[in-house]
Amino acid sequence: MFSRVRSLKAQEARLAYLLLTPTLLVVGLIIVFPVIWNVVLSLQPIRLSDLPRISLLNFSDLTLRNYYTAITARGGRFWDVLWVTVVYATASTVLALLMGLWAAMTVREAFPGRNVVRGFMLFPYIAPVVSIAFIWKLMLDKTIGIVPLLLEKVGFPAISFLTLRSYPVEIFGFKIGIPVALMTVIFFEAWHYFPFTFLFFLARLQAIPQELYEAAAVDGASPLQRFWYITLPQLYTVAGTLFLLRFIWTFNKFEDVFLLNGGAAGTTVLAIEIYNWLFARRNVGVASALAVIMALILTGLALLYLREFARRSSEV
């Protein structure tokens, strides 16, 4: 009897492996293998033009030189890029969360046309990134853009949002420069991804039991107090999860900035820097080294995410 049960189990396991094999092969070939090979490439001095000729399987002279170059080259530009990336990822994630919460509160209660509004709210997220980037690029264009034209009518100076590194202003006698281009890509990113946080916030909002609000109202809590003491605490968990997830994905985002302004005017994020090392400076080794650094940062964040939130993922 026992051996029969065991053999059934063994049979099931065998079928499971059989079903998994094609999936594992493909995932191994196009995801796991590239990630590992990336580490090897980062230890070899390879230029783009050498690629077709040199032997990639020659592991005799592995060196950490690429990492040294990646971090110290061009006057330590790496640290600027890292800083810009952190600012970009943090600010646009926080903004996307706030906008998502605002949007979710807006359509939480029924009103005529709510479904239409909710549908529109998802547009920025589902539309192809290439077209939304170009739409905003043209709307922000200095000569034909509708946004600068309208701003000019109400007395703002004509500036070119996507290519102006810094706009000097004076506040209390201090001269500071507003990083216009960086702020513009941050706002674009928040606009692009607020629907994502909106959907999760809305789902969570609709799961809050109505009795909580009724009880609080009986106790004399005003609407604002009910929002502050009931709604917000119910959203902390989902907000934490969303923050980490969005931060991870924004941190390595390439397309958005690349399409808007190519990383000009102080908006070069890490992913763009990697692309530039590969194709503008044609240095495969350094590009790979940067990619490894990025992968390490992300693996750290991803493990944090898995440990903190994924176990509770049923509620998200």
Where does this chain touch other proteins (CB under 8 A) — which range of 60-68, 90-98, 163-171, 253-261?
A: 253-261
Q: Strand locations in the chain, DSSP E?
A: 167-171, 174-178
Q: How far is the CB of 173 from other proteins (least distance, A)?
A: 35
Q: Does 59 interact with other proteins (rule: CB under 8 A)? A: no
Q: How far is the CB of 245 from other proteins (least distance, A)?
A: 8
Return the residues of window 84-123 that contact other proteins according to CB under 8 A.
Answer: 102-103, 105-107, 109, 111, 117, 119-123
Q: Report how far residue 126's alpha carbon sits from residue 175's, in angstroms, rounded to the nearest whole number.
A: 41
Q: What are phi and psi of 282, to 5 degrees?
A: 50, 40
Can residue 145 be called a binding residue for other proteins (CB under 8 A)?
yes
CB of 176 to other proteins, least distance (A): 28
- By CB under 8 A, residue 38 contacts other proteins: yes
- φ, ψ for residue 101 (rounded to 5)? -65, -45
56 near other proteins (CB under 8 A): yes
Q: Is there a contact between 130 and 259 (Cβ–Cβ < 8 Å)? A: yes
81: contact with other proteins by CB under 8 A: no
Does 132 contact other proteins by CB under 8 A?
yes
Quote the strand ranges of 121-226, DSSP E.
Answer: 167-171, 174-178
Complex with other proteins: residue 132 or 159, whichever CB lies closer: 132
182-212 burial: b if 16+ Cβ within 10 Å, else e: bbbbbbbbbbbbbbbbbbbbbebbeeeeeee
User: Does residue number 1 form part of the binding site for other proteins (CB under 8 A)?
Assistant: no
Q: Which is nearer to other proteins, 60 or 143 (CB)?
A: 143
